[in-house]
Chains A and B, each alone.
Chain A
Amino acid sequence: MSSLTPLVQISVTVMVSLASLVFAIAEGGPIPALTVPIAIGSLLIVDRMRQFSVGPMAAFALGLMAIGAAGIELAVGGIEARLLSVAHLSVYLTWVILVQQKDTRAYWWLCGLSVLQIAVSALLASDAWLGVVWALYLLTAIWTAALLSVAQAMERISPVTKRERNRHGQSDGSSQPSGSPALQGEHAFPARLAGSAAVMSVLSLGVATIFFLLIPRVWIGNFQLFDDTPLPGSRTLTGFTEQVTLGDMGEILESDNLVMEFAFFENDTGRKLTEKDLPKWLGTDPFFRGALLDLYENGRWQRAEGFESDKAPDFVAERGLLRQEVTLQPIGSPTLFAAGEMLAARSLVSKENVLQYETLRMFMRPREAQLSQSYQYEAIARPEVSDVLDDPASIRADRFNGERCFYEGRRRDGPRPYLNQRLLNYPSNLARLRTLSLELTDGLTDPAEKVDRLMHYLKGSGEFNYSLNLAIEDPSIDPVEDFVFNRRSGHCEYFASALALMLRGVGIPSRVASGFRGGQFNNRTERFEVREWHAHAWVEAFVNGRWVTLDPTPAGRSSSVVEMDRKQRSQVWLGLAGEFRYWWSTGVSLSNQNQKQFIYRPIQSAFSAAWESMRDVRGTAAQLGTTLKTFLSDPRRWISWQGGVFAFVTLSLLSGLVWLFRKLVQAVRRGEKNQDALVRQQTRVEFYERFRRILSKEGVRSEPTQTAREFAAYATAELKPVMQTDEIRGIPSVVAEQFNRVRFGHDPLTDEEIRVIDQSLNDLEAGLRRNDANPPQAAQVT
Chain B
Amino acid sequence: MRLMSEQNTDDRLPRTFSTQGLAAMMCGLGLAAFEMRYQFMLMRLGLGGRIVVMLLAASLSIWGLKEVIAGLFPSLGHHGLARHRFNWPMSGRIYAVIMMVLFIGSMLGRSNTLLMIFCMLAAAFVLNGWMSFTMLRYIDVDRSLPPRVMAGEPSSVELTLRNRKSWLSIWVMTVHDQIRHHADHLVADVLFLRVGPSSERSGHYRMLLNERGRYLFGPMQVNTRFPLGLVERGLNLAKTDTILVYPRVGRLTPGWRNQLPSATELMQQAVSRGGPFNDEFHKLREYRVGDDLRAVHWRTTARRNELMIREFQESRDRQLLFLLDGYHRGSPTHDERNAMELALSFATTVCIDHLHNSRESPLAFAAVGEQQIAWESRQPVESLLDSLAVFEPSMDADPKALLAAAMDFNVGATRTILVTPRPVSIGKTLAEMSTRDELGRRGFLQGVQIVSMTEADLGRFIMFE
Provide 8 A-B residue pairs closer than 8 Å at the C-beta atoms, listed in order of the A residue: A130-B113, A159-B190, A196-B171, A197-B227, A208-B119, A215-B115, A218-B45, A225-B108
By a CB distance below 8 angstroms, the chain B residues around A209 are: 119
- Extra contacts, 11 of them, besides A130-B113, A587-B116 (Cβ < 8 A), are A164-B185, A173-B207, A208-B122, A216-B44, A216-B49, A219-B107, A373-B111, A587-B112, A703-B382, A705-B147, A706-B380
- Are A156 and B109 in touch, CB under 8 angstroms? no
What sequence of 0s and 1s flags, for each residue 359-375 of chain B, a beta carbon within 8 Å of any chain A beta carbon? 00000000000011111
Residues of A near any B CB (own CB < 8 A) = 108, 112, 115-116, 118-119, 122-123, 125-126, 130-131, 134, 138, 141-142, 145-146, 148-150, 152-154, 156-164, 167, 172-174, 176, 182-183, 186, 189, 192-193, 196-197, 200, 203-212, 215-221, 223-225, 370, 373, 587-590, 592, 703-706, 714, 717, 777, 779-782
CB proximity of B136 to chain A, nearest CB, Å = 15
CB proximity of B359 to chain A, nearest CB, Å = 19
By a CB distance below 8 angstroms, the chain A residues around B131 are: 200
- With A159-B205, A781-B375 already in contact, the answer to whether A215 and B172 are too (CB < 8 A) is no
* A782–B169 CA distance with the chains assembled, in angstroms: 50
- Are A174 and B154 in touch, CB under 8 angstroms? yes
* A220–B120 CA distance with the chains assembled, in angstroms: 21
By a CB distance below 8 angstroms, the chain B residues around A126 are: 112-113
B249 CB-CB contact with A under 8 Å? no
- Are A157 and B189 in touch, CB under 8 angstroms? yes
By a CB distance below 8 angstroms, the chain A residues around B107 are: 218-220
B110 CB-CB contact with A under 8 Å? yes
- Are B228 and A146 in touch, CB under 8 angstroms? yes
Which listed residue, B98, B126, B172, B375, touches A150 by the CB 8 Å rule? Answer: B172
Q: Which residues of chain B from 141 to 174 have a CB within 8 Å of any chain A CB?
A: 147, 154, 169, 171-172, 174
- Are B122 and A781 in touch, CB under 8 angstroms? no
- With A172-B210, A706-B380 already in contact, the answer to whether A119 and B102 are too (CB < 8 A) is yes
CB proximity of A609 to chain B, nearest CB, Å = 18
Q: Which residues of chain B from 75 to 128 have a CB within 8 Å of any chain A CB?
A: 91, 94-95, 98, 102, 104-105, 107-117, 119-124, 126-127
- With A115-B121, A781-B379, A781-B383 already in contact, the answer to whether A160 and B108 are too (CB < 8 A) is no
- With A142-B228, A780-B374, A781-B387 already in contact, the answer to whether A172 and B208 are too (CB < 8 A) is yes
- Are B376 and A224 in touch, CB under 8 angstroms? no
- With A108-B91, A173-B208 already in contact, the answer to whether A782 and B372 are too (CB < 8 A) is yes
CB proximity of B257 to chain A, nearest CB, Å = 28
CB proximity of A707 to chain B, nearest CB, Å = 12
CB proximity of A8 to chain B, nearest CB, Å = 12
- Are A115 and B44 in touch, CB under 8 angstroms? no
Which listed residue, B117, B124, B206, B230, touches A119 by the CB 8 Å rule? Answer: B117
By a CB distance below 8 angstroms, the chain B residues around A219 are: 107-108, 110
- Are A138 and B124 in touch, CB under 8 angstroms? yes
- With A148-B229, A588-B113 already in contact, the answer to whether A781 and B207 are too (CB < 8 A) is no
CB proximity of B10 to chain A, nearest CB, Å = 18
B188 CB-CB contact with A under 8 Å? yes
- Are A223 and B382 in touch, CB under 8 angstroms? no
* A713–B115 CA distance with the chains assembled, in angstroms: 79
Which listed residue, B110, B174, B384, touches A224 by the CB 8 Å rule? Answer: B110
- With A203-B127, A220-B107 already in contact, the answer to whether A192 and B194 are too (CB < 8 A) is yes
- Are A154 and B229 in touch, CB under 8 angstroms? no
By a CB distance below 8 angstroms, the chain A residues around B376 are: 779
* A760–B361 CA distance with the chains assembled, in angstroms: 36
* A779–B122 CA distance with the chains assembled, in angstroms: 69
- Are B207 and A145 in touch, CB under 8 angstroms? no
- Are B172 and A153 in touch, CB under 8 angstroms? yes
* A389–B331 CA distance with the chains assembled, in angstroms: 114
- With A183-B193, A218-B41, A218-B44 already in contact, the answer to whether A200 and B227 are too (CB < 8 A) is yes
- With A153-B225, A208-B120 already in contact, the answer to whether A173 and B154 are too (CB < 8 A) is yes
* A477–B71 CA distance with the chains assembled, in angstroms: 85
User: What is the interface of chain A mostly: helix, strand, loop, or mixed?
Assistant: helix
CB proximity of A774 to chain B, nearest CB, Å = 15
CB proximity of B423 to chain A, nearest CB, Å = 26
* A208–B41 CA distance with the chains assembled, in angstroms: 22
- Are B186 and A162 in touch, CB under 8 angstroms? yes
- Are B226 and A225 in touch, CB under 8 angstroms? no
- Are A157 and B94 in touch, CB under 8 angstroms? no
- With A118-B117, A782-B372 already in contact, the answer to whether A123 and B123 are too (CB < 8 A) is no
* A714–B378 CA distance with the chains assembled, in angstroms: 9
CB proximity of B243 to chain A, nearest CB, Å = 12
By a CB distance below 8 angstroms, the chain B residues around A589 are: 112
- With A145-B229, A189-B194 already in contact, the answer to whether A163 and B102 are too (CB < 8 A) is no
- Are B109 and A225 in touch, CB under 8 angstroms? yes
Which listed residue, B174, B187, B189, B194, touches A186 by the CB 8 Å rule? Answer: B194
- Most A CB within 10 A of own CB, among B117, B131, B379: B117
Residue of A nearest to B410 (CB): A777
B184 CB-CB contact with A under 8 Å? yes
- With A208-B120, A211-B122 already in contact, the answer to whether A115 and B98 are too (CB < 8 A) is yes
By a CB distance below 8 angstroms, the chain A residues around B207 are: 160-161, 172-173
Residue of A nearest to B383 (CB): A781
Count A/B pairs, Cβ under 8 Å: 231
Residue of A nearest to B387 (CB): A781
- Are B127 and A122 in touch, CB under 8 angstroms? no
- Are A717 and B121 in touch, CB under 8 angstroms? no
By a CB distance below 8 angstroms, the chain B residues around A193 are: 171
Which listed residue, A112, A218, A588, A781, touches B373 by the CB 8 Å rule? Answer: A781
- Are A154 and B191 in touch, CB under 8 angstroms? yes
- Are B111 and A161 in touch, CB under 8 angstroms? no
B430 CB-CB contact with A under 8 Å? no
- With A160-B188, A215-B119 already in contact, the answer to whether A123 and B113 are too (CB < 8 A) is yes
CB proximity of A181 to chain B, nearest CB, Å = 8
B40 CB-CB contact with A under 8 Å? yes
* A446–B164 CA distance with the chains assembled, in angstroms: 93
* A197–B375 CA distance with the chains assembled, in angstroms: 63
By a CB distance below 8 angstroms, the chain A residues around B336 are: none
* A134–B120 CA distance with the chains assembled, in angstroms: 9
By a CB distance below 8 angstroms, the chain B residues around A714 are: 379-380
By a CB distance below 8 angstroms, the chain A residues around B373 are: 781-782
By a CB distance below 8 angstroms, the chain A residues around B382 are: 703, 705
By a CB distance below 8 angstroms, the chain A residues around B206 are: 159-161, 173, 176
By a CB distance below 8 angstroms, the chain A residues around B119 are: 208-209, 211-212, 215
Which listed residue, B108, B208, B374, touches A220 by the CB 8 Å rule? Answer: B108
CB proximity of A424 to chain B, nearest CB, Å = 44
B179 CB-CB contact with A under 8 Å? yes
- Are B45 and A373 in touch, CB under 8 angstroms? no
- With A108-B91, A145-B227, A218-B45 already in contact, the answer to whether A370 and B110 are too (CB < 8 A) is yes
B398 CB-CB contact with A under 8 Å? no
- Are B191 and A157 in touch, CB under 8 angstroms? yes
By a CB distance below 8 angstroms, the chain B residues around A118 are: 117
* A204–B120 CA distance with the chains assembled, in angstroms: 7
- With A112-B94, A208-B122 already in contact, the answer to whether A163 and B186 are too (CB < 8 A) is yes
* A159–B382 CA distance with the chains assembled, in angstroms: 30
* A150–B225 CA distance with the chains assembled, in angstroms: 9
* A705–B110 CA distance with the chains assembled, in angstroms: 74
By a CB distance below 8 angstroms, the chain B residues around A220 are: 104, 107-108
* A514–B194 CA distance with the chains assembled, in angstroms: 63
CB proximity of B28 to chain A, nearest CB, Å = 19
- Are A145 and B120 in touch, CB under 8 angstroms? no
Identify the 8 closest CB pairs spanning chains A and B, nearest first. A149-B229, A173-B208, A207-B123, A208-B123, A225-B109, A122-B113, A211-B119, A145-B228
* A206–B123 CA distance with the chains assembled, in angstroms: 8
B386 CB-CB contact with A under 8 Å? yes
* A219–B115 CA distance with the chains assembled, in angstroms: 11
Residue of A nearest to B372 (CB): A782
Residue of B nearest to A148 (CB): B229
By a CB distance below 8 angstroms, the chain A residues around B379 are: 714, 779, 781
* A189–B91 CA distance with the chains assembled, in angstroms: 24
CB proximity of A144 to chain B, nearest CB, Å = 9
